[in-house]
Amino acid sequence: MRIDTHRVNAARKVLKAISHHLAKMPKGRNNLSLDHYQNGREQGFIITNFPSDYSAKSLPKWVAFSENRDSDHIVVYTSRSNTWTCPPMQGMTDEAWKNRILFQYDETEKAAKYCVEFLVM
């Protein structure tokens, strides 16, 4: 994958805010994995949580975030919270596209908080 550094600027800001939120949380049952992802013109990061106490109540979940392809909004895609779906590395599934949430370009903190709450709460 060719990463365009300009296209990941928004995602880097969200990732930094996510890191600050996670640093304040107690260490626990969450095992987070970070990767780059590409969805056409969107390039960003995807974080997957593989909980150590894997059960029906704590399925692995993922969030992907980047600058939206059609605007300067921040877009966050999420897995379903009630079933395990493998995180996409290239492109988004129709289901993930339906789950997307858009944040204004200056709502980095709000997007990060949403990602953390979805992943580890």
Tokens for 3? 């990463």
pLDDT reported for residue 70 = 73
User: What is the rounded average pLDDT of the residues 40-61?
Assistant: 80
User: What is the rounded average pLDDT of the residues 16-34?
Assistant: 87
pTM of the predicted structure, to 2 decimals: 0.85
Report the chain's mean pLDDT, rounded to a whole number: 82
Instruction: Answer whether 63's CB lies under 8 Å from 87's CB.
Output: no
Confidence of residue 96 (pLDDT cuts 50, 70, 90): confident
| Rounded (5°) CA angle 36-42-45 | 25
How many whole angstroms separate alpha carbon 74 and alpha carbon 79?
17
Confidence of residue 65 (pLDDT cuts 50, 70, 90): very high
pLDDT reported for residue 110 = 97
Tokens for 2? 């060719």
In the predicted structure, residue 89 carries a pLDDT above the cut 80: no
For the chain, list the strands marked E by DSSP. 32-39, 42-49, 61-67, 74-78, 101-103
Q: Could you count the other beta carbons within 10 Å of the beta carbon of residue 3? A: 11
Antiparallel, parallel or unpaired: β 32-39 and 61-67: unpaired
76 SS3 class: strand
pLDDT reported for residue 52 = 77
